[in-house]
Amino acid sequence: MDRATWPRLRDDLASTRRSAAAFLENLDAGRTTDGTEWIIRWIEIGDTHGLLGNAKGREGKVDEAAKAWLCALTAFEIAKRLAREQTVQGEAVSAKIGSAIETFGSLKQRIERVQIECYDQSAIQAHYLPPDDSSRAPAIICISAEDETSTTLLGRLLPAAAHRGMSVLAVTYDDVSDNRSGLSNEILSCCLDYLSTRDDVDATRIGVYGDGMAAALATDLAVSDSRVAAAVCDGGLWNWARTMAAVDWVAGVPNTPNDQAMAARRSRLLRRLKCPVLVVAGGRGIVSTSEAIELQNDCAAAKMDLQLIISPSAMTDAGEVENFVISDDQIFGWLEQRL
């Protein structure tokens, strides 16, 4: 990437995210400068937005301060992804993200730390982002990837989710995943219970979004709990793949059913889902692009409500870097439309 195409400071969230998406889109292995320079530049952009946010906060311009901190979070997220192989810089950026979330959350109490009571008398901690106003609004249960916390997930999703007229409940994968049959669904159903009791949530418009391995948990919840009105999930592909692998292992030979039989099996899985479904393929997700395209074709033939987005990414000399800005905006745009 040439210096002439490097990101510049933008003064509003939409412009910042367009700049961020364009930067990630233009990454490639053939034209790279020192990755440390990129990290420094995006940290500078984030810090500058943070200074602006503090200044607006002191002036009492809370909404402008909040937008500045959302810009900062977008910039810091890019720096974190570029610094993933550099432990010291990665930890420094993660600390900046945590501080930015805390500051954003303190503005008009925009983020709440809540406790979700479970059926077995235990409890999990979560972050809750209320809607822009106090009216009953759609809500999304967002489950982090297996290597992330709810704080990390929230830092990435806040700029995409804020100002869409919906609330977000962010939970950590480790808190809600359990290998025992049905227990993950029970915990996530408790999250549904919690949202359903809130005065600012419309209980008929609650969706679920699972990131990474949590996409399979989102599918299971949508199958088991009819209160889920929309699901961003794996469409059952992870469990289907595990079942196929188990059959291969028991039989001792590869199981190679014909295309028609495979399509029928995928369709049976999807028929258990009674809500609209969005499958995210590629990137860091667990769904391959080829599997997702086949699933989408099966659903189109069966007139099932499933949509597909392919997460764009760039291969650099530091590895694959996902364009999370485009993916997250598409995901929350779909959720906003469906709910």
**Number of domains the chain is built from:** 2
pLDDT of residue 246: 40
Output the six-digit token pair for 127: 């972050």
Same structural domain, 102 and 240: no
Last residue of a domain, one of 70, 90, 108: 108
* Paired strand residues for 168: 129, 140
Same structural domain, 234 and 95: no
Output the six-digit token pair for 121: 């008398």
Beta strands in the chain (DSSP E): 112-117, 123-129, 137-143, 167-171, 201-210, 228-233, 277-281, 306-310, 313-316, 319-322
pLDDT in tens, the chain (339 residues): 544 445 666 668 999 999 999 999 887 654 444 568 888 899 999 999 999 999 999 999 999 999 999 999 999 999 988 887 567 777 889 899 999 999 998 887 789 999 999 887 789 999 999 988 767 899 999 999 988 888 889 999 999 998 899 999 999 999 998 755 568 899 999 999 999 999 999 999 999 999 989 999 999 999 999 999 999 998 877 665 444 444 444 445 555 555 555 566 666 667 778 899 999 988 777 777 888 888 788 777 777 788 899 888 877 666 778 899 999 999 999 999 999
Exposed e or buried b for every residue in 298-321, given b needs 16+ CB within 10 A?
bbeeeebebebbbbbbbebebeeb
In terms of phi and psi (left: phi > 0; alpha: psi -120 to 50; beta: otherwise), the region of 320 is beta
Distance in Å from the first CA to the final CA of the chain: 39
In terms of phi and psi (left: phi > 0; alpha: psi -120 to 50; beta: otherwise), the region of 108 is left
pLDDT of residue 36: 80
Same structural domain, 199 and 223: yes
DSSP 131: -
pLDDT of residue 314: 78
In CATH, what number is assigned to the domain containing residue 123? 3.40.50.1820
Range of the domain at 282: 111-338
Same structural domain, 166 and 30: no
Same structural domain, 28 and 128: no
Whole-model pTM: value is 0.88
Same structural domain, 98 and 132: no
Residue 14: Cβ within 10 Å count: 12
Last residue of a domain, one of 60, 88, 108: 108
Same structural domain, 293 and 155: yes
Instruction: Please report how many Cα atoms fall inside a 13 Å half-sphere around the Cα of residue 249, on the Cβ side.
Output: 6
Same structural domain, 264 and 249: yes
pLDDT of residue 245: 43
Q: Helix or strand or coil: residue 269?
A: helix
Same structural domain, 282 and 316: yes
Last residue of a domain, one of 90, 108, 126: 108
Same structural domain, 181 and 327: yes
Same structural domain, 82 and 130: no
Same structural domain, 104 and 140: no
